[in-house]
Structure 1
Amino acid sequence: MTTPALSTARLSLEPYTPGDEEDFVALFQDVRVSRWMGDGPCTEAEDRALFGRIFSKVYARDLFDVWAVRHEGRFVGH
């Protein structure tokens, strides 16, 4: 099983690529967002490690699907 790309008329959900790391970290470092995710705000290093685990554990082992959400090609969410 591989994480599929999905799309609607407005959004696309795509598997993360290594190039998405800065956007991912910026999203998770935003306390308005991170307070609702997981255990709440984490350090930047912890968020970078989390991003790395998407590839080393989640995708590598086909555990579950994780997507970068884009609108008109721009990263807008997780």
Structure 2
Amino acid sequence: MIVPHFGDQPFWARRVHALGASPPPIPRRRLTAERLAQALLDATRDSQMQAQAQQLSERIRAENGVERAIEILTGKP
């Protein structure tokens, strides 16, 4: 589950949820123990959500984001 705080985090929280890899995001100002507990239960009991999260994590890992950012910033492959 995602609790967005600032910047682009609300966008990415909605996107991850839309991809089926997390429960709906919980805005920080609406975060309660009950909401967090329910999101944890939803995430741990939903095997399809877990599979989507695993698939998404593999795609993100394959991007090599740090290496790509360094290439862009330094102009060196």
TM-score (norm 1): 0.29
Of Structure 1 and Structure 2, the greater strand share is in 1
Of Structure 1 and Structure 2, the greater helix share is in 2
- The higher radius of gyration belongs to 2
Larger RCO (alpha carbons 8 Å, 6+ apart)? 1
TM-score (norm 2): 0.29
